[in-house]
Amino acid sequence: METKGRKEILKRHGMRVTDCRLDVLDLFINSRQALSQKDLEEKLTAYDRVTLYRTLHSFLESGVLHKIPNDNGIASYGVCFDTCSPSEHHHDHLHFKCNSCGQLECIEEAITLPAIHLPQHYQLGAVDIIVNGVCGACIVEA
């Protein structure tokens, strides 16, 4: 995505435009899979761990990224695009984890999520659905 488009995303979410934010956003937009902080540290070596952590945190708070819990205890993050704001995250999609390569990605195709019925006096916050299987790339390699 061109720099102007990335700058517009940051401005629309009320964020200052910095080189680090542009680079992190670019990495997420160009990646088909969810990324962890470790992934960012490996790919964006010009920035230290604390700077990348703060960037991820600010992206979460402003609705640029959403957190994807993972069964390995390491959080991954995906792009919200235009679905979220600083006050609310809306993620009506599945997350797919490949049992072969470990890749975690958002599946944006329209699906019908199951209705969630909680007991009285419970309030729904978020629903995280991770589907496990084998991704297309690993199937082709096999």
- 65-83 in b/e burial notation, b at 16+ Cβ within 10 A? bbbbebeeeeebbbbbeee
The pLDDT confidence band at residue 21, using thresholds 50, 70 and 90, is very high
Bigger pLDDT: 69 or 134? Answer: 134
The structure's pTM equals 0.77
Question: What pLDDT, in 10s, does the model give residues 48-99?
Answer: 999 999 999 999 988 889 888 777 788 899 887 665 655 665 666 778 889 9
Q: Any idea what the CATH number is for the domain that residue 101 is in?
A: 1.10.10.10
Tally of domains within the chain: 1
Nearest to 64 by CA among 5, 3, 12: 12
Identify the pLDDT of residue 23: 96
What is the extent of the structural domain holding 97? 3-141
- 28-54 in b/e burial notation, b at 16+ Cβ within 10 A? beeeebbbbbebbeeebeebeeebbee
Identify the pLDDT of residue 84: 61
